[in-house]
Structures are given as C-alpha cells and as structure tokens.
C-alpha cells in the first residue's frame, strides 16, 4: 500500500552526505564572519542565506546557484529600493513589490531559484528597516560574498567526485549484457521452449532501463567534475566510460532483438540445424568479449580501453559465419541472427561497414 501520511513526505529516501552538511555549516559561519568584518550593519542575513543555498553536490552546481541567487538579489533589492524611495514602506508597497517581482521573473524567464529570490529579497529589504542606497548596496555585497565563500568552501574541502557510482554502473551494465548474450548461446544450444525465451526476453529488455540509469550516473559524474580541481585523471576515466556505455547501447539493442527474434520463431527442431550450433558458438564468443570488457572496466581505476580499440588480449570473435545453403524452414531467423552477429562484431572490433 502506498504511504499517504503527509508527514512521511517530509523525509527523504536518502541522507545528504555528512561532508556536505559540514561544508554548508562552515560556509555559513565563514560568510557571516567575513561580512561582519567588512560591512558595518545588522546581522548579514543575505550572506547566510546565500551560503546555505550555494553549497551543492558539485562545484558547477554551486557556481550556477551562486549566479542565480546573486542575480535574483540584485533585481529584488533594486526593485525594492526604487519603490521605497518613490512610495515609502507601507504594507501595500511591500505587496506591490512582491507581485511585481513575480511578474518580472515570469517575463524574464528566470530560473526558479532566481525568480523566488527576487520576491524574497525585495520583501526582506522593505521589512528590515530604513532603506537607503548604501543599505541596498550592502545587501547585494553580502549576497555576493556569501556565494563566493560557499563556492570556495565547496571547492577546497574535498570537492565531490561522483565517478565511482558511474564507473560501477558501467561495469555492471557490461556484465549483465554479457549474461544476456550467454543466455542466447545457452538457449540455442539446449533448445529452450517459448516460455524460457520469454523469460530471457524480459531480462534482456531490463537492460534498457539499466543503460538509462548508467547514463544518468555518468551525467552526474560529469557534473561533479566540471570546475572540480580534483578532476584530472578522473575526466579521462569518465570519457572512456562514456565511450564504453555508447557501445553497450548498441549491444543491448542487438541482444534484445536477437532474443525477441528467437522467441517469436523458435521451434523444437531449431537446434538440429548445424548453422544454429555455429551461431550459438559465435554468440558465446561475443559474451566472452563483453564479459572481458566488464572485467577491464571494474578491475582498476585506470581508464578502460574502448571496445573499438584493440586490447592486449585477442578477441574471442572469429571470422563472420557463412551459410552456403540456407535452411528452408528457419532461414529468416538464421539470417536475422547472422546479421545481428555481424553488427555486434563491427561494434566490438570497430570494423567499418
């Protein structure tokens, strides 16, 4: 049963890394203390808020949040200061500024962070006390300082690198793709019935979602390495993982198509054809090559060699199969499987059409 308890929705399914919590606290304290030294005035609320919001899971996200927050504060403070000088600071002026901030953010197509910040900044300026040009300039300076301090803290204190989960996801995808090819080889050799092939097809189709999750992990890893001083060699590994994942996308499509074709056209006498036995052998060799690829990705943190670049070990694939006399009953299935093998071979060995 789905949990409909509204209080339960307040809790996330996973915790924010404790290191990010620590960095956020350090950024807030550092931003407030710096503003107290550089700017005379009340508690630097804008600096504290900026620091709280700008510390993000990646440095690139922190930079973007800093820009969004600063832009929203500048626009909101300028808007509030102008209306205060013209109309005063009564309740209806505050409401007017908030409504105009919402409309201006909509008209300018600002991001949600910037759009929200325009109205909040305008409201805080008008309700905080006496508004003067110097007061407004100080609030803008507070925000910029808070954002800069948060960005520096996020970059200096163990900047996050999310390559590990992505690297593991790619290795698992390669391993499970190899297992899918192995199922095809075993099924052709043993002569599986329709139900067994249907089960294999469901497992092969699940690889598409697994591939999508691997790509999402790679996107997160790329995001974490953008502007990251710890990037270096991690970027090389990430680039190789991206290449491997693109090759696996083709292999996942092929093994799913092969499994579907066999499920739709299997027959009790299929494995009696000698060509089918040769196809099973070749598919087993494909599985061995893909499993070797998975082992190379998972075995070390050195860049995994691209499938299109020959590795030190010879590939298990042999020369393409040739059929001199097609089977009169199963020639459509055999032809489709041979074509899939040819395309997989091109993908693994980097051959041209």
- Structure confidence by residue, pLDDT tens digits, 144-182: 999 899 888 887 776 667 778 888 889 999 999 999 999
- Pinpoint the residues of the chain covered by CATH 1.20.58: 163-349
Is 305:341 a contact under the CB 8 Å cutoff? Answer: no
Tens of pLDDT, residue by residue over 207-265, are 999 999 999 988 888 877 776 666 666 777 888 888 889 889 999 999 999 899 888 88
Q: What would the mean pLDDT of 179-194 be, rounded to a whole number?
A: 90
Structure tokens at 263: 């499920």
**Cβ-proximal residues to 137 (8 Å cutoff; 6+ apart), any chain:** none
For residues 286-318, one letter each, b for 16 or more C-beta atoms within 10 angstroms of the residue's C-beta and e for the rest, the string is: bbbbbbbbbebbbeeeebbbbbeeeeeeebbbe
Of residues 219 and 89, more confidence is placed in 219
Of residues 271 and 126, more confidence is placed in 126
d(CA 55, CA 57): 7
The end-to-end CA distance of the chain, in Å, is 53
Rounded to whole angstroms, what are the CA distances from 300 to 290, 304, 314, 348? 17, 8, 20, 21
Is 35:142 a contact under the CB 8 Å cutoff? Answer: yes
Of residues 107 and 349, more confidence is placed in 107
**Cβ-proximal residues to 50 (8 Å cutoff; 6+ apart), any chain:** 31, 66, 69, 70, 73, 142, 143, 144, 145, 146, 147, 150
Nearest CA to 27 out of 53, 9, 64 is that of 53
CATH number of 163-349: 1.20.58
For residues 62-97, one letter each, b for 16 or more C-beta atoms within 10 angstroms of the residue's C-beta and e for the rest, the string is: bbbbbebbbbbbbbbbbbbbebbeeeebeeebbebb
Is 64:234 a contact under the CB 8 Å cutoff? Answer: no
d(CA 142, CA 121): 12
Neighbours of 237 (CB within 10 A): 21
Structure tokens at 336: 């489709």
Rounded to whole angstroms, what are the CA distances from 222 to 53, 127, 217, 227, 284? 21, 42, 9, 10, 34
Nearest CA to 348 out of 292, 296, 305, 289 is that of 289
Whole-structure pTM value: 0.66
Is the pLDDT reported for residue 65 higher than 90? no
Lowest mean pLDDT among 6-20, 28-42, 58-72, 284-298: 6-20
Is 344:337 a contact under the CB 8 Å cutoff? Answer: no
d(CA 138, CA 122): 14
Tens of pLDDT, residue by residue over 12-25, are 666 667 777 888 89
Structure tokens at 169: 């996801």
Nearest CA to 231 out of 171, 163, 156, 167 is that of 163
Highest mean pLDDT among 15-19, 44-48, 85-89: 44-48
Is residue 230 exposed (0-12), middle (13-18) or buried (19+ Cβ within 10 Å)? middle
Neighbours of 6 (CB within 10 A): 7
d(CA 256, CA 159): 40
């Amino acid at each position: 049963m789905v949990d409909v308890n509204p209080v339960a929705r307040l809790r996330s399914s996973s915790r924010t890394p404790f290191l990010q919590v620590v960095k956020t606290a350090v950024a807030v304290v550092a931003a407030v203390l710096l503003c107290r030294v550089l700017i005379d005035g009340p508690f630097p609320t804008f600096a504290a808020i900026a620091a709280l919001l700008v510390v993000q899971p990646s440095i690139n996200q922190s930079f973007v949040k800093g820009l969004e927050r600063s832009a929203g504060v500048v626009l909101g403070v300028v808007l509030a200061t102008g209306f205060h000088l013209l109309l005063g600071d009564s309740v209806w002026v505050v409401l007017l500024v908030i409504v105009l901030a919402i409309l201006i953010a909509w008209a300018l197509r600002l991001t949600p962070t910037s759009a929200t910040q325009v109205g909040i900044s305008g409201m805080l300026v008008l309700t905080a006390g006496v508004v003067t040009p110097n007061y407004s300039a100080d609030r803008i300076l507070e925000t910029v300082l808070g954002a800069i301090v948060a960005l520096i803290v996020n970059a200096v204190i163990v900047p996050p690198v999310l390559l590990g989960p992505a690297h593991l996801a790619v290795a698992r995808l390669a391993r499970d793709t190899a297992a899918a090819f192995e199922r095809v080889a075993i099924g052709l050799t043993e002569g599986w019935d329709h139900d067994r092939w249907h089960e294999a097809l469901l497992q092969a189709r699940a690889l598409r979602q697994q591939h999508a999750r691997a790509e999402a992990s790679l996107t997160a890893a790329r995001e974490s390495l953008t502007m990251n001083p710890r990037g270096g060699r991690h970027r090389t590994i990430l680039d190789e993982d991206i290449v491997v994942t693109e090759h696996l996308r083709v292999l996942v499509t092929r093994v799913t198509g092969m499994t579907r074709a066999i499920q739709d056209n299997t027959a009790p006498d299929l494995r009696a054809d000698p060509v089918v036995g040769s196809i099973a052998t070749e598919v087993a060799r494909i599985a061995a090559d893909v499993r070797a690829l998975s082992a190379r990705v998972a075995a070390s943190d050195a860049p995994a060699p691209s499938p299109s670049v020959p590795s030190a070990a010879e590939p298990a694939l042999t020369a393409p199969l040739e059929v001199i006399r097609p089977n009169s009953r199963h020639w459509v299935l055999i032809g489709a499987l041979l074509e899939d093998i040819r395309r997989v071979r091109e993908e693994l060995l980097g051959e041209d059409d």
